[in-house]
Structure 1
Amino acid sequence: MFYMLIDAQLPFAYIGHQGITVDADSGTLYTSTGSAVKNHGWYITKFTYNKNEIPTDFKVIRIFDNSYSKKISAMPSISPDNKILAIRARKNQKNYVRIYDFNEFKKNEDQADKLPYNEWIVDDGLTKDNYPFQAITTDGKYIYLMSGKSDKLPKRLYIYDLKGKIVQKIDNLRIGYDDAFDFSQSGAWEPEGLAIDNKSKELLLFFALGDAGSRIGRIFRMKIQD
Structure 2
Amino acid sequence: MGVVADAWTWLVTGSNWSGPDGATHRLAEHLYVSGLALLVACALALPLGLRLGHLGRGGALAINISNVGRAVPVFAVLALFMLTPMRNSGYLPTVIALVLFAVPPLLTHTYVGMTGVDRAVVEAARGMGMSGAQVFLRVELPLAHPMIMTGLRSAAVQVVATASIAAMAGLGGLGRVITAGFNRYDTAQVFAGAVLVALLALVVEGVLLALDRLFSPLRRRGRAV
Q: TM-score range by the shorter chain?
A: under 0.3
Structure whose CA Rg is larger: 2
Looking at secondary structure, tell me which structure has more strand per residue: 1
TM-score for the superposition, normalised by structure 1: 0.23
Looking at secondary structure, tell me which structure has more helix per residue: 2
TM-score for the superposition, normalised by structure 2: 0.23
Higher RCO structure (Cα 8 Å, ≥6 apart): 2
